[in-house]
Amino acid sequence: MFPAPRYPALLQQANTKSLIFMVKMLGFLALLGLGQSAVAATIQVPDEDNHITTIADALAEANDNDDIVLAPGEYKGPLVIDKKITLRGSETARTVIKAGGDQPMLSIHANDVTIRYLTFDGGETAIDQTDSIRVTIEYNIFVDQNSASIDVIGSSDAQIQYNTFYSNTNAVLLESDQSNLVERNIFARNDVALPALIAGDSNSFDFNCYFNNSQDGGKGENAASGNPMFIDPGNTAQRDFHIQETSACKSEDPGDTVDTSIYFGTYGGNTPDLVPLPAQGVGASLQSADPLAMDVQWQENLSYLVGGYRVYFSLNTAVDDATTDFKDAGDASTVTLVEADGLTKPVAAQPGAVTKLSALISNQRIRLSWAAVDQATGYDIVATNTANADEVHTLSVTNASATISGLTNDQTYSVSVTPYYQASYYIAVRAYDSVNKTQLSALVDGVEKRIIINDAKTLGTAAAVEATPQAIQPYPDLPNEGCYIATAAYGFYSAPQVQVLRDFRDQYLLTNSWGRALVAWYYRTSPPWAAVVKEHAGLRAATRIALLPLLGVAYYLTHLQPWQQVLVLMLLWFTLSGFVRLLGRIRLGSHGE
């Protein structure tokens, strides 16, 4: 008989230092994780890197004391807040929550929640606060709620301050008498602003401004009345509830024009959103090419918070937040830019050749990408049906990618991309706050104009590619193309595993020609296989197991910071090293018996 190996003794001797190091490293990583979870985090919405596209995603991710910040845009309710968090918009007027049905847009069932810098538009009820304490709702806009803007039920110590309520059935319903504070708000054109004050209640309705409500309700002390002079509340495309200089709601002391902390409504107080709304009615024209001069005009912003305007300009590239060339126009609404302001006469340039041109096909579309060409300010694209020369599609773009739509499936197109140089200036108007000139209005569609200095184009060397669009039918039907088999295996497109694979596709496959070819092949061939996987539970489980190695690699490449990648490699190395040494000692021990 063979003697039994001395496993216990060898295990005690084998690679002890490596094992200790591994345990310490794992403990260090665990501490890092605990430390990160214990510290309040700021969660941005959207945040594609972390697969957060909706407020619901952020709420699911959040812990107590976290700060959820919404980028300007439109969001949908209903949403439930059951954690101690802050939910705020980046810009009050342009961060809008709309109803997704008859349920309240926000239902609050937690203590110490703060809601600020948001616009709630339409629906039945905007905020339902039930059995919670110390909820703060401030610097928001509530418009066109059919039931109630804010309904406080069985709650205490709520602070509803510096909000604007406009054209609602009930602005604030208080189904509680426990020290709730409603002050420094503007109530305008509501059916009922506030409930009546009841003797013995500990609620406070002081320092509010009222205008043209059917019923004001309990006004409390130090109330103001009169037209708030909103800029443009009826413009459903972009409501503007900033107030003008002559507003009756600027202060309970009509003689006070300095202390904004005692102003009413969304844009009063000490910490309102100071970002002006984007400039309106921007126009620009070339006055003279030599000497260079351009006329720019825009619509005056009547908000008392706007201090003036900066007119930014950039030669051949669009204005962005990094652009530093501008002329301060003060409070004027027109300006002429001249060479003394920093304009420079453009010098003719010769663009090079288009390289790395590739095409990715989809349903009635071809997506093109290529390497940016030096000295090119734009690209002319022509797509011609090789079987029907009369079918020609043209477009011009300024970036090194484009999508041609409206094509005929199963028809081959010859697509050419020609770079060109055409001198032009980009002009953008940005309003700034009256106190802080760095608080600038956003760069959105309409605030930037392009002025072509010379109509002539200097052409570079074109490149061409052929592609055949095809109908790609996802299975199951998905809101976006791709990852069909993984979606079938995990059951839904937003599964974290599917998102990891999608990130890998976007970052490592769609960035090169062979990767795009592989993705195109997968899109063509995988839907039937996905259909089979979806219908069989055993296949779904087997596919999830088969995808584990790819998921590990994809997550490692797309989600770990460099230092985290190094730590993972070190752990793998020491683990493998220890295992190999252990096997070696076991083998030597067994031969020595």
Name the CATH code of domain 280-346+425-452 (choices 2.60.40.10, 3.40.640.10, 2.30.30.40, 3.40.630.150): 2.60.40.10
Range from 386-390, 480-484, 513-517, 564-568 carrying the lowest mean pLDDT: 480-484
Task: Kindly report the number of other CB atoms within 10 A of residue 529's CB atom.
Answer: 16
Q: Is this structure's pTM higher than 0.95?
A: no
> Tell me: the pLDDT tens digits for 95-142?
999 998 889 999 999 999 999 999 999 999 999 999 999 999 999 999
pLDDT at 200: 57
Residue 273 has pLDDT above 60, yes or no: yes
For the record, the structure tokens of 451 come out as: 């002025």
Measured N-to-C along each axis, helices 537-559 and 513-535 cross at an angle, to the nearest 10 degrees, of: 150
Domain boundaries, the chain: 7-37+563-592, 42-262, 280-346+425-452, 358-422+457-467, 484-559
> Tell me: the pLDDT tens digits for 337-364?
999 999 998 888 999 999 999 888 878 9
> Tell me: the pLDDT tens digits for 19-69?
444 444 444 444 444 444 446 789 999 987 778 889 999 999 899 999 999
CATH of domain 42-262: 2.160.20.10
Buried b or exposed e, range 130-158, using 16+ CB within 10 angstroms: eebbebbbbbbbbbbbebbbbbbeebbbb
Mean pLDDT over each residue of the chain, to the nearest integer: 83
Q: Which long-range contacts (CB under 8 A, 24 or more apart) does 170-178 make?
A: 170/145, 171/142, 171/213, 172/148, 173/148, 174/203, 175/151, 176/152, 176/203, 177/201, 177/202, 177/203, 178/202, 178/203
The number of residues in the chain equals: 593
Q: Is the preceding omega at residue 78 within 30 degrees of 0, hence cis?
A: yes
Residue 4 has pLDDT above 60, yes or no: no
CATH class of the domain at 358-422+457-467? mainly beta
Q: Do domains 42-262 and 280-346+425-452 have the same CATH topology?
A: no
Q: Average pLDDT for residues 189-201, to the nearest whole number?
A: 81
Task: Please give the Cα distance from 193 to 211 (Å, whole number).
Answer: 10
